[in-house]
Each structure stands twice: as C-alpha cells, then as structure tokens.
A and B are shown apart, each in its own frame.
Chain A
Amino acid sequence: MGKLRPGTIILVVCLLALAVLPWFAEKYYVQLFTKMMIMAIFAMSLDLLVGFTGLVSLGHAAFFGVAGYVLAFAAPEYEAANLWVSLPLAMACSGLLALVIGVLVLRTSGIYFIMVTLAFAQMVFFLFHDTEFGGGADGIYVYAKPVAAIAGWEPFTLENHTHFYFVVLALLVLVYTGLRILLDSLFGRVIVGIRVNEHRMRSLGYRTFRYKLACFVLAGVLAGMAGYFAAAQFGFVNPETLGWHQSGSVLMMVILGGMGTLTGAVVGAFSMILLELGLQGLPAIGGMDLSKHWQLLMGGFIVCAVLLLPHGLLGLGRTASRLRRKPAEARDG
C-alpha cells in the first residue's frame, strides 16, 4: 500500500458522511441525496464516454429514459415489478439500444458525432412521444416501487426511503469502484489512448471501433441503471426524461465537476442539483419572479462556467494557478 493521498482521505470522509446521513437528516433530504446519487451514476456513465474515450454524446438521456419506461411496462397498473428481474431487463434494453445506436453513430466522429447522437436520441423521443403505447406526451405512472423478493424472502424494501437510499449509495460505490478498476486495466488504457490519438492506437493493432462500441454500450447500461432508479423514485416516466434537455444537463454535470475524473462527475451532479434547487428558491426581485424563471440564471451560469472554469470545479486549483503564472495562456486554454 502506498501513502494515503489527500484526495483519497476526502473521498473516504465524504463516503462516511453519506453513509451516516439518513440518521441525521429528514426524509426530504434523504430523498434529495438519493436523487443526487442517481444522477451521479448517470453522470459517471457519460464521463466514461466524454472524459475517457473522448466521445461527446449529446443523446445520453435516451438510455436513461428507456430504462425508466421498461420499469413502467414491467409494473403495469398497481402491481409491483420484481427488482431482480426488471432491473437487469431495463439495463439490457438500454444496452441493446446503445448497441444499435452505437453501431451507427460511431461511424462518425467529432462534430458529426455530437449531432448524430442528438438526432438519434430525438428519434427515440418521438417514438415515445408520438405513439400511444408509452402513454404519449404524458408518460406513464409507476405506481409501486419494485419489490426485492427472492423466493419469498425480502432483504430490503424500496418503499422505505432509507432502504432506497442505501441501495442507491451501494450502487454508486459499486459503479465507481467498478469503473475505476476497469479504467486501470488494459481496456481503460486503450480507451484513453483512443481519445488521445486514435490513429496511433489503430496502428498498434487495436480494433478501436470495438473498444468504442464496448464503451458506448457500457455507458448505456449504466445510464439505464440510473434511469431505472430515477423512474422508481419519481414514480413516473415521460418523454422529457429521455429528451435532449436531460442530455444537455447531464453533460453540464460532467463538465462542471471536471471531466475524465469520475469524482468530478459526482461532484458535478451534486452541485448542479443543489444549484437548481437554490435557483428555484430565489425570491421575486423587482416584479420578476426569479424562481419561476430560474433557467435564465442557470443559462447564465453555464455560459460563465464554460468561459471561466475550463477544468471544472475539481480543477479550480489548476485554473487559478495557471491564471497567476501565465494570464494570457490561461485565457486561451
């Protein structure tokens, strides 16, 4: 074992804080943190694409939303779905969709890739928006949370908000650790190599298309996991959950925290949701209801963040030190 780095210590402290939170916080906050952790899983899955493989996807919400719809179909009317069946099913459907879309979109790169991912996600949006089987524009309710019964034995119940919280926390840790191990493996080195120089990786004999497709599908599966729990928590799914605003906002989470770090995605997800709440709670100023028009300030914030925080929140130190050293260079970079 090497020496403990300050980053690791902070990580462990935050994790401990999350682990004891339900004993100190009210129900509202427990549910809020559950939502933040779900979005953190979603953001990490996108970070795998954007930050590590260098694929800027603007349609990632499609995989998130589809998994929610699978849960809604698996729990018709007031019957609850079985967690152990519906969760793998939902993730598999997201993965399958990612495979089909991935084969098409990965034929392109750069600006094309951004536009094509957006367009295909929009196609999925219209599929649910214009047809009746998914409830059309109104979406469907998920009346009952999935049941975690194995042959009559129920280790936990998602109807209990504390249980729900711990399940999501466990998944967050699991996904984070899993992705860390994956990224430290040869596979991880290869995909980072693809981001840096795909031609070189190809000439080294790696079939880069397969690696990128594997990443795209894995990211889709993980986004599906997040989407499944989001649908279970909110109790409904509608086309907006797979719309492009959702894709834009999760991309913002990844960038805000600092992409290519995984922890950045988590920090970004937490801060974006807190910011959103903060803006929605603003008072009316001079006859203008700011809480109703909070998106105005959110847009302003995004524009400023892009211009002023090139390395995200986690990279604040880096941005500041560069500003001190070389003002001109920092401005360009």
Chain B
Amino acid sequence: MDANTFLIQVLNGIQYGLLLFLVASGLTLILGIMGIINLAHGTFYMVGAYLAFSLSQHFGNLWLAMAGGVVIAVVIGLVLEWLLISRLYHRDHLYQVLLTYGLILIFEELRSVVFGDDVHGVAVPEILRVSIPLTETLSYPVYRLWMSAVCLVLAVGMYFLIQKTRLGMIIRAGAANREMVQSLGININLLYRLVFALGVALAAFAGMIAAPVASVFPGMGNQVLIVCFVVVVIGGIGSVKGAMLAAILIGLVDTFGKVISLEIGGVQLLPQLSGMMIYVLMAGVLLARPEGLFGKRA
C-alpha cells in the first residue's frame, strides 16, 4: 500500500468514524441520560436517508431537503417520546427492547409501503461535486471532506452544549440524579423529550449526509445500529467523549479491515472476515474493561 492509498483510507476511516459518532452520540445520550435502550435508533438514520432522497427530489436541492428533514426528524422524535417512550421510563429494559423492536418493524414496513424495496441514489450537491487530485489516477472527493467537517463541527457544538451551557448542565445533572433535578423545579419530562428529539435529529442528519455516498437502501438502519452498539460498548455508556474515540477507532479498523489482506497458515482471514473485526475489537475491550473505555465502574 503506497502513501496515497494509505492517506485515502485514513480519510475514509475517519469520515466513517465521524458519521458513526453522530448516530452513536444520540444513542449514548439517550442511554446515559434517560436510561432507555433504543433499538429504533438506527431506524432514524434510515428515515433521514429516505427523507433526503424524497425531499431532494421534491425541492430539487439537497440543502433544502436537509433543513426540512431535520425539522421533520425533530417532530418525529418529540411525538414518539410523548406517545410511547415516556411510558417506558419505569419499565424494565426488556420492555424498552421490545417496544423499540416493534417500532423498527413499523418503520421498515412503512418504508417498504411508501418507497418500495429498491436501492436509491441521492445526487451530491453541485458545489461539492469536485475531487482533489492526489496523483494522476487517484483523487479524493470534496463531499467526503465536507462530511467530516460537518460532523466535527457538530461534535464540537455538542461538547460545547453539554459542557458549557446551562441546558447542558441540567442534562448532566439529570443523568446523575433525576429526582434531585426534578425537586429543584426543573421540568425533567420536557428535558427528556428534548434529549430524545436531539438524538433522533442527529441520527437522521447522519443518514441525510450519508445518503449521497452510501446510497439509500432497506435495512440500512439496522446495520448502523449494531455498529453503534459496539461504539457505545467500547466508549462506555453515556460518555460522548468515549463515543467519539470509539467511533473513530471503529471507522479506521473497519476501513482497513476491508483493504488489508491477511493470511495466517494458508487461510485468508482479511478482507474475508473484515465484517467481524469490530466485534473482535469489542471482545478485547470487554476482557480488559467491561465498563468501556470511558465508562464508570458499576
């Protein structure tokens, strides 16, 4: 592997990692703050991608589609929390798993009813439809760089929101001690609703910006969901910092697992088994630190 290919793979790995971070950060916030295990989180990623697909056709412009899509995603998040999720706070995780599993079936089937089961593509916006040439044959698309930049901006924004603002302070307090925050006169139900909607919007937005490079297809949400679980397990529940580190790590491991070929004892291990790499990584972390890299010891 020469230096240019290596550079391209590093960029791809980081970009994939940052995208995972957007989805996983919502998942880990909802888990850490609300104590809700949300299997339908990957579904919101899919919803975002399909929103980008249908709205960009409708408006003829991906930027407008993204703006509209985020608004719709927030509304979906608020309604779902109000209608269903808010009834699960006092229930066992088991029921959270089942209800959100039911939601996956509903959203997947609605997707099938409305859009069918075909794979769709979304066009890259015109200004970003350029590539940076590296050598005569290799180049790197600007859209991917833009994606990474947007994810980074959002990550910094989230860090600022949670660590530096009053709202973030209340969110952190709510995660530490729900009853205490409530008795201090803060409307914890409203706070939870906002956190849930924020998580949904982040996942949907990730789906929207990923749509032009990853295409839009059935089952895309579940694929992302399980990788995000691995991210959360490695990073530690509720830790946004941990999610960031784990997401980049997994992005790189997954990307390089697909391009490196590895043979041990005449058996081709990579890239054939690249799909398993991140789980092996997770197993390693579990052996060393069952609570995740940045998780609190139970």
**Interchain CB contact under 8 A, B102 and A255:** no
Which A residues lie within 8 Å of B287 (CB)? 104, 107
B1, CB-defined interface residue at 8 Å:
no
Minimum Cβ distance to chain B for residue A113 (Å): 9
Interface residues on A, range: 35 or more
Give residues 264-278 of B contacting A (CB, 8 Å).
272-276
**Interchain CB contact under 8 A, B275 and A116:** no
**Interchain CB contact under 8 A, B226 and A252:** no
**Interchain CB contact under 8 A, A104 and B286:** yes
Q: Which chain B residue has the least Cβ–Cβ distance from A130?
A: B275
Minimum Cβ distance to chain B for residue A209 (Å): 12
B-contact 0/1 string along A287-301, CB 8 Å cutoff: 010000101101111
A284, CB-defined interface residue at 8 Å:
no
Q: Which chain B residue has the least Cβ–Cβ distance from A116?
A: B233
Which A residues lie within 8 Å of B99 (CB)? 302-303, 306-307
Q: A114-B37, A295-B108 are in contact. Are A108 and B113 (CB under 8 A)?
A: no
Tell which of A16-24, A35-43, A64-72, A121-129 binds the partner: A121-129
**Interchain CB contact under 8 A, A111 and B102:** no
Minimum Cβ distance to chain A for residue B246 (Å): 13
A248, CB-defined interface residue at 8 Å:
yes
Which A residues lie within 8 Å of B104 (CB)? 299
Minimum Cβ distance to chain A for residue B107 (Å): 8
Which A residues lie within 8 Å of B107 (CB)? 299
Which A residues lie within 8 Å of B286 (CB)? 104-105, 107-108, 116
The 8 Å CB contact of A118, one of B94, B229, B274, B291, is B229
Which A residues lie within 8 Å of B230 (CB)? 119
- Give the docked Cα–Cα distance between A320 and B292 (Å): 42
Q: Which chain B residue has the least Cβ–Cβ distance from A127?
A: B276
Minimum Cβ distance to chain A for residue B269 (Å): 10
**Interchain CB contact under 8 A, A119 and B113:** no
The 8 Å CB contact of B273, one of A131, A252, A298, is A131
**Interchain CB contact under 8 A, A306 and B279:** no
A112, CB-defined interface residue at 8 Å:
yes
- Give the docked Cα–Cα distance between A164 and B286 (Å): 42
Give residues 61-112 of B contacting A (CB, 8 Å).
84, 87, 90-91, 93-95, 97-99, 101-110, 112
**Interchain CB contact under 8 A, A119 and B102:** no
Give residues 247-298 of B contacting A (CB, 8 Å).
272-276, 279-280, 282-283, 286-287, 290-291, 298
- Give the docked Cα–Cα distance between A86 and B151 (Å): 52
Which A residues lie within 8 Å of B97 (CB)? 56, 58, 114, 248, 251
A166, CB-defined interface residue at 8 Å:
no
Dominant secondary structure of chain B at its interface with chain A: helix
Q: Which of A50, A244, A333 has the most CB of B within 10 A?
A: A244
Which B residues lie within 8 Å of A110 (CB)? 93
**Interchain CB contact under 8 A, B298 and A293:** no
**Interchain CB contact under 8 A, A303 and B106:** yes
B31, CB-defined interface residue at 8 Å:
yes
Which B residues lie within 8 Å of A114 (CB)? 37, 93, 97
**Interchain CB contact under 8 A, B105 and A298:** yes
Minimum Cβ distance to chain A for residue B24 (Å): 11
Give residues 127-153 of A contacting B (CB, 8 Å).
127, 129-131
B222, CB-defined interface residue at 8 Å:
yes
- Give the docked Cα–Cα distance between A56 and B233 (Å): 16
- Give the docked Cα–Cα distance between A50 and B93 (Å): 11
Which B residues lie within 8 Å of A50 (CB)? 94
The 8 Å CB contact of B279, one of A122, A259, A298, A303, is A122
B200, CB-defined interface residue at 8 Å:
no
B232, CB-defined interface residue at 8 Å:
yes
- Give the docked Cα–Cα distance between A305 and B95 (Å): 10
**Interchain CB contact under 8 A, A302 and B237:** no
Q: A58-B97, A244-B222 are in contact. Are A115 and B232 (CB under 8 A)?
A: yes
A109, CB-defined interface residue at 8 Å:
yes
**Interchain CB contact under 8 A, A131 and B272:** yes
**Interchain CB contact under 8 A, B109 and A306:** no
**Interchain CB contact under 8 A, A123 and B93:** no
**Interchain CB contact under 8 A, A122 and B233:** no
**Interchain CB contact under 8 A, A107 and B276:** no
**Interchain CB contact under 8 A, A306 and B233:** no
Q: A252-B98, A299-B103, A302-B102 are in contact. Are A123 and B31 (CB under 8 A)?
A: no
Which A residues lie within 8 Å of B84 (CB)? 303, 307
Which B residues lie within 8 Å of A306 (CB)? 95, 98-99, 102
**Interchain CB contact under 8 A, A120 and B93:** no
- Give the docked Cα–Cα distance between A251 and B37 (Å): 15
Which A residues lie within 8 Å of B272 (CB)? 130-131
**Interchain CB contact under 8 A, A107 and B290:** yes
Which B residues lie within 8 Å of A259 (CB)? 94
5 contacts between A and B (CB under 8 A): A119-B226, A129-B275, A251-B98, A295-B109, A296-B113
Q: In the complex, given contacts A114-B93, A118-B226, A130-B276, what are 19 additional A-B residue pairs having Cβ atoms less than 8 angstroms apart?
A: A56-B94, A104-B286, A107-B287, A108-B290, A111-B35, A112-B291, A119-B279, A127-B273, A130-B272, A255-B94, A255-B98, A288-B113, A293-B109, A299-B104, A302-B101, A303-B106, A306-B95, A307-B84, A333-B90
Pairs of residues from A and B, 6 with the lowest C-beta to C-beta distance, nearest first: A299-B105, A302-B102, A123-B279, A126-B275, A299-B106, A296-B109
